[in-house]
Amino acid sequence: MGTPASIRSVEPVSQADAEAWHEVVTASMAEDLPDVPPPPGAQAHARLTGPRLGTRLLTWFAYEDDGRGHSRAVGAATLCLFDRAGQEHLAEVELYVRPDARRRGTGTELLSAVVAAAVSAGRRSLIAEVPACTAAEFFCVRHGFRRALTLHHLLLPLSEVHRGWLDELTAAERPGYRAAEWNGTAPDALADACAAAKNAMNDMPTGDLDHGTVAWDAERLRAMAAVVTGRGDTLLTVAAVHGDGTGGGTGDGAAEIAGFTEVVIPGGTAARAQQYDTAVVPAHRGHGLGLWLKAQMLRRLHDEYPQVTEVETDNAADNTHMLAVNEQLGFRRLRTTYEYQLALTEREEPA
Ligand SMILES: CC(C)(COP(=O)(O)OP(=O)(O)OC[C@H]1O[C@@H](n2cnc3c(N)ncnc32)[C@H](O)[C@@H]1OP(=O)(O)O)[C@@H](O)C(=O)NCCC(=O)NCCS
């Protein structure tokens, strides 16, 4: 069985480290989530070295010696530290142990290293997204995490969505609104309006999660698009523009964005697209814009990205409006995950 695992923090993450991480994650997911495709191996290095906008990522490995002088990575953990204003209290852990190395304390050792780093970075909350009814739930409860939010993951096979039906949904009159769409960064004339609409995401249901709020502006919006496209993904947006858009002769300058929906195609070529944010600004709710926008997006995928065969999304269990829109479009329940949260400030510091 070998000696106990040794935990090492890795900085910078090399290509070989990224391959080891990918191997651990793939073996772990095959055990707990056999129907979920593991993250693409080709993107592993970019994922570990190019974190999400306004975050830092720290990485640890657990190595075991097989007693014949060979060491192999049996576990891996990442800690995402959110540095953006409004979320500086927050950190998120992802932790995996190979199935053949579990129940020997390796997960616990990795978590200790992660918690120590989160505490020394001044964080008060550590969150972890955990698949329902798996070992990770027992592990989290054992380590004092509390369940804070239920997320339903949904999948829409595009072959089941009739193109004619999408035409009908998108052709329906929305007086006062017109659709705008783009790939990557928002057009300059709409960037401020789009950032204002992004702030509508701040009232998304987040259960008991200590999630904080993030203020968007045009600069942050451009930076977010740069991060997504920089790692090779395609970012598509469809927006509902309100107003005549003449802006007193300045094009879209006076237009307001009433709502938007974003989809990402991993690597630009993946068959499974990922839904990102969708929001309708409070003053424009109740006009069916959510369904209209998402139908526009599906039509766009159908026409312009025929290699995309399915779209995955997740919704908080109490986000009844978004769930209703998705069910109307044909999304089906895939699986459930929970956001678990550990209050770091309640932990007793060693004497
Ligand atoms: C969760 C996970 C990291 C635990 O790794 P591990 O090395 O087996 O964890 P440990 O050996 O340190 O377990 C610590 C305690 O957690 C609990 N626990 C862990 N797995 C359990 C299981 N399958 N059933 C019941 N309790 C379990 C036990 O209390 C255990 O202590 P014990 O073995 O003395 O009874 C591992 O199962 C895994 O990789 N799961 C898939 C990845 C995942 O979902 N990660 C999300 C969490 S961030």
CATH at residue 320: 3.40.630.30
Q: Do 187 and 45 fall within a single domain?
A: no
Q: Do 229 and 308 fall within a single domain?
A: yes
Q: Do 162 and 79 fall within a single domain?
A: no
CA distance 301 to 69: 51
The tokens describing 75, both together, are 């576990």
In a domain, 320, yes or no: yes
CA distance 159 to 318: 28
Q: Which residues contact 2 (CB under 8 A, 6 or more apart)?
A: 64, 65, 66, 67
Q: Is residue 75 classed as helix, strand or coil in its secondary structure?
A: strand
Range of the domain at 113: 6-123
Q: Do 222 and 328 fall within a single domain?
A: yes
Cβ 152 vs Cβ 336: under 8 Å:
yes
The number of domains in the chain is: 2
Q: Is 133 in the pocket of ligand 1 (CB under 6 A)?
A: no
Q: Is 96 in the pocket of ligand 1 (CB under 6 A)?
A: yes
* Per-residue pLDDT of the chain in tens (351 residues, 90 and over written 9): 556 799 999 999 999 999 999 999 999 999 999 988 888 888 899 889 987 888 999 999 999 987 888 899 999 999 999 998 899 999 999 999 999 999 999 999 999 999 999 999 999 999 999 999 999 999 999 999 999 999 999 999 999 999 999 999 998 878 899 999 999 999 999 999 999 999 988 878 888 888 888 889 999 999 999 989 988 899 999 999 998 654 433 444 468 999 999 999 998 999 999 999 999 999 999 999 999 999 999 999 999 999 999 999 999 999 999 999 999 999 999 999 999 999 997 655 544
Q: Which atom of ligand 1 is nearest to the CA of 96?
A: 39
In a domain, 343, yes or no: no
The tokens describing 50, both together, are 């190019």
Q: How wide is the angle at C-alpha 117 spanned by C-alphas 111 and 120, nearest 5°?
A: 140
CB atoms within 10 A of CB 263: 25
Q: Do 119 and 158 fall within a single domain?
A: no
User: In testing the pocket of ligand 1, which one of 103, 109, 112 has its CB within 8 Å of the most ligand atoms?
Assistant: 103
CA distance 293 to 295: 5
Q: Is residue 121 classed as helix, strand or coil in its secondary structure?
A: coil
Q: Do 102 and 171 fall within a single domain?
A: no
Helices (H), 70-126: 106-120
Q: Is 102 in the pocket of ligand 1 (CB under 6 A)?
A: yes
Q: Is pTM, for the whole model, over 0.85?
A: yes
Question: Which pLDDT does position 39 carry in this prediction?
Answer: 86
Q: Do 214 and 265 fall within a single domain?
A: yes
Q: Is 38 in the pocket of ligand 1 (CB under 6 A)?
A: no
